[in-house]
Amino acid sequence: MVNTHKWIMNFLKNNRFLVLLILLVSLFTITSFIGNPFVAGLYGTINYSLLLLSGLYAFSQARNFLKITTIFFLLAIVIDWIEFFNPQVQLINTIRPLITAL
């Protein structure tokens, strides 16, 4: 338990930028449920941008196996972003079996 606490504290201390991004994504996710479509769209855009930025940061900091995982994370964000701005496109239903198979 002590080692876990020490690891968490070291992670928070060494990755302040990533922790800040995660907190901002959480904030915009919680506040994106406002009924105004413009505000929800604005928050959605900011949220996807922060997710993409945090994914790119994680990719730059990751080792080999985690880079593969991060690529799929970034791919899912980009697909979700495309569907957010163009609801007629349903890419995730086409690509989901491929991602699941991998």
DSSP 63: -
Handedness of CA 18, 21, 23, 25 (dihedral sign): negative
Integer distance in angstroms from the first to the last C-alpha of the chain?
34
Predicted confidence (pLDDT) per residue in 28-76, tens digit: 665 555 555 666 666 666 767 777 777 777 777 766 666 766 677 777 7
Mean residue pLDDT of the chain comes to 67
Res 101: pLDDT = 58
Domain carrying residue 40: 2-101
Name the residue with higher pLDDT: 45 or 2: 45
Q: Say if residue 1's pLDDT is above 60.
A: no
Instruction: Please give the structure tokens belonging to residue 26.
Output: 């959480």
Q: Which residues contact 87 (CB under 8 A, 6 or more apart)?
A: none
The count of structural domains within the chain is 1
Res 8: pLDDT = 67
Q: Say if residue 10's pLDDT is above 70.
A: yes
In the block, residue with structure tokens 């995730």: 92
pTM above 0.75, yes or no: no
